[in-house]
Each structure stands twice: as structure tokens, then as C-alpha cells.
Amino acid sequence: MAEVITMPRLSDTMTEGKVAKWHKKVGDKIKEGDILAEIETDKAVQDFESEIEGTLLFVGVEEGAAAAVDSILAIIGQEGEDISSLKGGSAPVAEGASEEKKSEEESKTENESTSVEQTSAEVPAGVEVITMPRLSDTMTEGKVAKWHKNVGDTVKEGDLLAEIETDKAVQDFESEFNGVLLKQGVEEGGAAPVDSVLAIIGPEGTDVSGVGAAKPATKSEDKPAEQKSEAKAEEKSVAQTANTSSSDRVAISPLAKKMAQDKGVDINSLQGSGENGRIVKKDIENYQPSQKTEAAPAQTHAAAQVALSFVQGEDTETPNSQVRNIIAKRLAESKFSAPHYYLMVEINMDKAIEARKEINSLPDTKISFNDMIIKATAVALRKHPQVNSSWAGDKVIHRGNINVGVAVAIPDGLVVPVLKNTDQMNYTQISAAVKDMAGRAKSKGLKANEMEGSTFSISNLGMFGIETFTSIINQPNAAILSVGAIIEKPIVKNGQIVVGNIMKLSLACDHRVVDGATGAQFLQTLKTYLESPLTLLL
């Protein structure tokens, strides 16, 4: 029997999706895990794979057109099957959405200050103008960390054109066209606003001098000679690390990737059964862990600044990266818009130390205190959902999932990769996910969606010997937990002074969402879980 495939909701803010490309056409045989289409959301373009087998009988949305979430995207069934009763007006929906999209695009063309359409009369036939893509929901400009193609090079669809540094990460940008690279609109190391000209591709020898140019946000020519050298060295370093991370990219479907994260599966150890070795849903379902030497634990915080050399009497400057600019903006907005207050508590970690020793004595198991804190925090959030909420102007949003963001220091500042559904993960899964994301964060290999959707955040400086500190809330979270070092100190136990292992926690709360008593009750629950780890099993 035929099944209707609807337009999926691929992000929490998505209301409609645009079919960037169909990978299958009507009449093609479909297998589970095959890529049906590429769906463009409000945040990114994502592959959409089939979860059923059969023949593609109907396409509800044309390539390049948009449709509302839950409208008919496609119908899959047996060859020759009558599906007239299933179409249910899907074509008009797609057409209406397409017309609406066209209207929006026309309006956008009239109002945008930097628009490629404004120069459409000057674009020769067969030439494609590629604009700076919006690779995250908060991105306003992008920096070209590295060009993989030079002017004059032949470019094929799918070829890697450049690596784009956004406000969150460095991402590969692939060509959707065939031709010759006729122009680079942004120099390597330069930045330009979203939707400005990034590159021009077309037939060899075509004159594109009249096509509008990008508007770089920063130019190295404006810097003194010694600053140019510094900037060039830094950009080279960024490009090299980004290149290293991109070479390790694993072909995996979004659904399979989420399942792997939830189950703590190392995708680098899998051999995909999908198209071109792509990892699909059934590969995760059939995964059997192998005996493998565990990598050395990755610290969630490292040296926060790029190493600088000191020269007596000489001032130097380092140009801000996109990451550091957005960190400065976000932290200032959070500090000055959210009324912060702080609660602090001391935790006796004696039993947690014993529990960790027992857990790590098991084969192929090695967890850190940070992993234990993340798990205890996630379970405590279940009992105190008000702390797992967000301020939204005229309302408070109580989040349905517990997604813990873990602060990771990188040379450019700080990023917060997110463990989705943390309360459903065990210690091993948390440990594997933190090590993986912390490692990729330092090489700028994280994807934008891996740093979105946090409902609570944790920052740990204990490995540096910091006993106590306070953090700025990671908006739109309502709270952030700061974790200090475990210190041996005298404590009173059963009327006797003994040596105990004490750790201090500091909870920063947004008073608009979390009242003092609510924050205190949350810390009491967290204290109970850490001082008596067996209570996590209840």
C-alpha cells in the first residue's frame, strides 16, 4: 500500500521547506536509506532519506519550490498503484507555496541592500552568481578561511569551493554548478555580508567584470605591515585546521547521526551500507561495539587564547575572528539583558570518587568527573523543569527535551557543543560524545546544528585548579552551572574533623525565569545525586 511522505520539520523554527534538489524521480525504485531529496530549511540544506521501500509514484513539490511543513512531499508505493485518493490537493499546495515563495523572493529583491538580482541585467548567459550563504540562523557575514578552487579552475557540481568561517564554525561550501571559476568575490581571509557575491561560475573566457562585487567587511590592506603578517599566519593556521577536520568528514544521514549520538556510537568506526558508503539508519541499529583502545580523555577546556609572543616595548594587535566577535556580542547581550544572580554550594565528592573508580574498573570504560556531573545535572533537570526553561518576552518556554551544552575553549574563544537528550544517555555515551565534540571543536570541525538547541549549560574550570567562579548565562538558557576543582580540605563528619574531597558549584540564574528558591532546590537535588551516586539509579 502506498505511503504519503510529508515535508519534515528539520528544525525547531522551520515552518516550510524548499526542495533544493531531488535525488530520485517518479518511477525510480526506492530503498530504505536512499536520499530522496535535499531540503532547504531556515537554517541549512539537509539530506532527506527514505524510511520505506517501493517506487516513487508522485512528487508533491517541484525542485526549487517550497511547501509548508506536513504538506505532501512525495508518495511511495508499488509500481502502477492507484494513488489518486492520496494526492488530496497536494499539487495546489506546492504551487501555492511556490507562488508565495516567488512573491517573497521578489519582495526580498526590492528591499535587500546587497542583492545579486540587482545586477541580473549584467550577468552573461550561462553564468551563475554564487552568494555568501547563511550557514547558521545568527550569521550575518562569512569569512573565507580557504579557497579550494582558483580563478580559471574547472568546477563540477559537488566540488568543494571554499571553507567558510561563520560565527560558530568553519564549514565546507560545495558548488551546485558546472563550469569554470571566473571570479572570487571575497579574498582568502576576507569577510563579506550574507548574500553578497562569493564567486562567479560560467563558461571559460566569459567577461564578468560588470557583475557586482562583494563588500568585504575587513581588508588586510588596511592593517600595518606587522599586523598583516600576524593576520596571514593566523588565517593560514585556521585554514590548515579546517582542512584537517574536513578530510575526516563522515557521510551519514541526519537521522542516523542523531541515533548515533543518542546511542554513543562512534561513526568513524562504521562502514555505511547506503549510497556511496553513506551511513544510514539500519547501520546504527545493527551496530555492534568492537574492542577498541580508548583515546585519552579530552579536556572540555583548553588554553583559551592563541599563544602570543611578548616583545618589550612593542604593542601588537590580533584581528578578531568571527567566533570572537559573536561571543563578545552574545555575552554582552546576556549580561546586560538577563538579571543574573548566583547560588553556590559545596559538594562532598568522596562517594563520587569511589563510584568513578568502580565504574572505570570495568572493561573498555573510562569516565571523568565531568561526565558524572553532566549526567547528574541532566537527571536533576527532570525534577526541576523550571530551570530547563527560556525567557521569551511575554512568556516562558518550558523545554520538552533536556539538551546540555558543554563549554569548550578554543583558540578563538568559547563554543558550546550540545548533548541532545542528555538525561537519556548513560555515562559511556556522555563520555564518548564529549570527547568527540571537544576534539572537533578545537579543530573547528563542529557543524552548526551541533551547537544549537541547548536548554542548560555547564562550564568546568576544575582541571585548572580553579576552586570557584561564576559564568555568564548562555542565552536562551535560563541558567548555567560553573564547576570548580575537587580540593582536599578539613570537614566535620560525625563530630570529627576529617579530610574530605570538596567541590564547589556555582549556579547563575536568570531571575526572570528561575526564582531563588527554585534554583536552590535544583542545587539541593544535584548535591544529593553527586554525594550519593546510587540515587541516580532510582
* Catalytic residue list: 511, 515
DSSP labels for 91-108? HHHHHHHHHHHHHHHHHH
State the CB neighbour count (10 A cutoff) for residue 229.
12
**Residue with grid cell 555492534, as numbered in its chain:** 288
**DSSP H or E segment with residue 113:** none
Which amino acid appears at position 250 of this protein? V
**Contact assessment for residue 62 and residue 47, using Cβ atoms and an 8 Å cutoff:** no
Q: For CA atoms 88, 94, 97, 99, give the dihedral sign.
A: negative
**DSSP H or E segment with residue 481:** strand 479-493
Q: Which backbone phi and psi does 141 adopt, to 5 degrees?
A: -150, 160
Output the CA–CA distances (angstroms, integers) from residue 362 to 173, 359, 370, 425, in the order listed.
Answer: 43, 6, 18, 18
**Contact assessment for residue 454 and residue 405, using Cβ atoms and an 8 Å cutoff:** yes
Alpha carbon distance 442, 245 (integer Å): 10
Distance of CA 480 to the CA centre of its chain: 19
Q: Beta strand pairing status for 479-493 and 456-460?
A: parallel
> 427-442 and 369-383 helices cross at what angle (nearest 10)?
110
**Contact assessment for residue 198 and residue 185, using Cβ atoms and an 8 Å cutoff:** yes
Which residue, among 131, 326, 329, 322, has the nearest Cα to 235 in the 3D structure?
A: 322
Alpha carbon distance 408, 25 (integer Å): 44
Output the CA–CA distances (angstroms, integers) from residue 15 to 26, 49, 71, 490, in the order listed.
Answer: 26, 19, 11, 58
Alpha carbon distance 383, 380 (integer Å): 5
**Contact assessment for residue 501 and residue 350, using Cβ atoms and an 8 Å cutoff:** yes
Q: What are the residue ranges of helices labelled H in 201-289?
A: 225-247, 254-263, 281-285
Which residue, among 102, 100, 167, has the nearest Cα to 137 in the 3D structure?
A: 167
